[in-house]
């Protein structure tokens, strides 16, 4: 089983929503589409589902060209950011609805709904109506509806975006397990890099209608093909600087910070990308370089501290563990873990990841 997009392009009027895209999703995989709003995630999913037709290009499913085949005739299901359920059906009837339409026998419906409800912890509320449930439970119902069908393709369009923090965490942990033993292709769209990392599988980074990179999630994260992919897959935003290398000496152009390293690249000019968690208020790793900064903003996020600081023309973000109290305007010392630097050439392509 596989889903393949061949040169798929989508134009609406004079605007291009999806630029020519090739993507091959394999059987039993979870695939994350990672990109900000308007990157084309939803459009891509709708094309995969058959809700929308590509302007050009083909979609192949299991070796069959399904371009233009109606969504009703395909075996797929979709979960949306909004909690979409039939408003006057009970949870049971909601989950059973796709089965009823395809004419499954009542006994089997009951058994299959029961099983899925158990999996999604919905058993106690099978008789309730969607508007009597919490947001998390409503979304679980929508997920159950998608799972009960045994679809070949399950599309999840930012399913956690409308949930509050705790419910999101909880469901995010459960999601990969739900799809573990399923014979299907799962596509999961999200704006959050953390979602992609937690779900694992494969990730495609998207920007403005282009698929930038597709591969195993961890590979895409640690070896982004280019600077754009690295930026998409970084939250808080990646810190970037221009450097020059000569011999063992690496020097940031915007200020005079320099260090020695035996990274094997030719002498010349490069760009470096540093993820915020590789700049910390304490030394981390074996090779760290000191950088001074003037604190712009210091904020706490759970048990982590975000410090925005400037150094020369640079305007960077650091992410440290624990609560690090800094005052605005304070001069502070930070440490960059040089083993984690990403080096890009003049064309923004990755040269090495340290």
Q: Among all chains, which residue has been given the structure tokens 């999806």?
A: 18
Q: Which of 49, 206, 228, 238 binds other proteins (CB under 8 A)?
A: 49
Q: SS3 for 102-160, per residue?
A: CCCCHHHHHHHHHHHHHHCCCHHHCCCCHHHCCHHHHHHHHHHHHHHCCCCEEEEECCC
Q: Which is nearer to other proteins, 190 or 288 (CB)?
A: 190
Q: Which of residues 109-138 bind other proteins (CB under 8 A)?
A: 131-132
Q: Which is nearer to other proteins, 188 or 316 (CB)?
A: 188
Smallest separation, CB 244 to other proteins (Å): 51
Smallest separation, CB 52 to other proteins (Å): 10
Q: Which of 32, 39, 78, 238 binds other proteins (CB under 8 A)?
A: 78
Q: Is 34 helix (H, G, I), strand (E, B) or coil?
A: strand
Q: Is 140 helix (H, G, I), strand (E, B) or coil?
A: helix
Radius of gyration of the chain (CA): 24
How far apart, in whole angstroms, are the C-alpha atoms of residue 340 and residue 236? 16
Q: Near other proteins by CB under 8 A, which window of 29-37, 46-54, 208-216, 244-252?
A: 46-54
First to last CA, the chain: 37
Q: Does 346 bind other proteins (CB under 8 A)?
A: no
How many other C-beta atoms are found inside a 10 Å radius of the C-beta of residue 4?
A: 18
Report the alpha-carbon angle 176-177-181, nearest 5. 105
Q: Which is nearer to other proteins, 87 or 302 (CB)?
A: 87
Q: Does 86 bind other proteins (CB under 8 A)?
A: yes
Find out whether 223 and 350 touch, Cβ atoms under 8 Å: yes
Q: Which of 63, 64, 72, 286 binds other proteins (CB under 8 A)?
A: 72
Q: Does 12 bind other proteins (CB under 8 A)?
A: no
Binding residues for other proteins, rule: CB under 8 A, are 46, 49, 51, 71-72, 76-78, 80-82, 84, 86-89, 97-98, 101-102, 131-132, 145
């Amino acid at each position: 089983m596989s889903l393949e997009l061949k040169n798929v392009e989508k134009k609406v009027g004079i605007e291009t929503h999806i630029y020519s895209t090739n993507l091959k999703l394999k059987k039993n995989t979870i695939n994350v589409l990672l990109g900000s709003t308007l990157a084309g995630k939803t459009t891509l999913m709708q094309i995969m589902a058959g809700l929308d037709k590509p302007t050009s290009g083909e979609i192949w499913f299991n070796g069959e060209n399904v371009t233009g085949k109606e969504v009703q005739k395909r075996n797929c299901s979709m979960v949306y950011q909004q909690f979409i359920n039939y408003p006057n059906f009970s949870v049971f009837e909601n989950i059973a609805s796709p089965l009823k339409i395809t004419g499954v026998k009542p006994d089997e419906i009951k058994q299959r709904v029961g099983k899925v409800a158990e999996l999604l912890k919905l058993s106690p509320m099978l008789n309730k109506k969607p508007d009597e449930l919490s947001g998390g439970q409503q979304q679980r119902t929508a997920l159950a509806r998608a799972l009960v069908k045994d679809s070949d393709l399950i599309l999840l369009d930012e399913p956690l975006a409308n949930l509050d923090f705790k419910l999101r965490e909880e469901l995010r942990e459960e999601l990969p397990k739900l799809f573990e033993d399923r014979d299907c292709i799962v596509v999961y769209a999200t704006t959050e890099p953390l979602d992609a990392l937690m779900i694992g599988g494969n990730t495609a980074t998207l920007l403005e209608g282009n698929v930038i990179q597709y591969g195993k999630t961890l590979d895409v994260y640690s070896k982004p093909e280019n600077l754009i992919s690295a930026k998409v897959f970084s939250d808080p935003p990646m810190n970037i600087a221009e450097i020059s290398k000569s011999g063992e000496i690496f020097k940031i152009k915007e200020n005079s910070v320099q260090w020695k390293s035996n990274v094997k690249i030719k002498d010349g000019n490069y760009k470096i990308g540093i993820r915020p968690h590789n700049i910390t208020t304490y030394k981390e790793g074996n090779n760290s370089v000191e950088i001074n900064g003037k604190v712009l903003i210091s904020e706490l996020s759970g048990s982590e501290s975000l410090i925005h600081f400037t150094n020369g023309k640079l305007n960077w973000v650091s992410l440290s563990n624990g609560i690090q109290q800094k005052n605005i305007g304070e001069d502070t010392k930070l440490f960059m873990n040089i083993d984690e630097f990403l080096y890009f050439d003049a064309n923004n392509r990755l040269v090495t990841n340290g």
